[in-house]
Amino acid sequence: MITFPLSISANWQCASLVNNLSELEQEWLFEPHSLTAKLKSNAQSFSVKVLNEQTFTLSDAQQQLLGSNTNKALKREVLLLCDNAPMVYAQSWLPSTQTTLHNMGARPLGDVIFQHPELTRSNIEVGRFDSEHALQSLVEELNLTMRPLLGRRSVFSINDYHFLVCEVFLPGAYLYS
């Protein structure tokens, strides 16, 4: 049984410092637009499965990452499925000062945020998750083949509201093809 929230701790690196990536991995990891839209364009069906949503207290480091002066946030953990196969584990930190993005249910965050003309995004950072990482418990629970995983994260802003989105590509995801 998995205990949520899952850790997304990693040695996050700016894209310019990441090497040894195939062209396909780069294409998916550095996608500047909506990952949701990219996934949908590669599948006949797309869905979101909410794994966990809970309020948590941001650490000082998390507050600094978000540029937030509030210490409470909603942590949302979901699976993005293409043709009923789990492709991406996503985690979002949504500070409590904003309610529009809370209570999304099974709606993809990407469908909502990329509609905002004011949306900006920090540089994408890449993380690697080896076979010992806590995220592998999800891989095991989903009966997927264990392998090192790649993920990306960035801080998005809509006006003065900042939130983190982290996406980890699960075994079987298109970027490993």
Look-up of token digits 């990441």: 18
* Greatest distance between any 2 Cα atoms in the chain: 42
Give the contacts of 131 (CB within 8 A, at least 6 positions apart): 146, 147, 148
Q: pLDDT digit of tens for each residue in the chain (177 aa)?
A: 688 889 999 999 998 889 899 999 999 999 999 999 999 999 999 999 999 999 999 988 889 989 888 889 999 999 999 999 999 999 999 988 666 787 788 889 999 899 999 999 999 999 999 999 999 999 999 999 999 999 999 999 998 889 999 999 999 999 998
Q: Report how far apart the first and last C-alpha atoms of the chain are (Å, whole number).
A: 29
Give the contacts of 120 (CB within 8 A, at least 6 positions apart): 156, 157
E-strand ranges in 58-148 read 72-82, 85-95, 119-121, 125-129
Can you tell me the distance from the alpha carbon of 29 to that of 22, in angstroms, rounded to the nearest whole number?
10
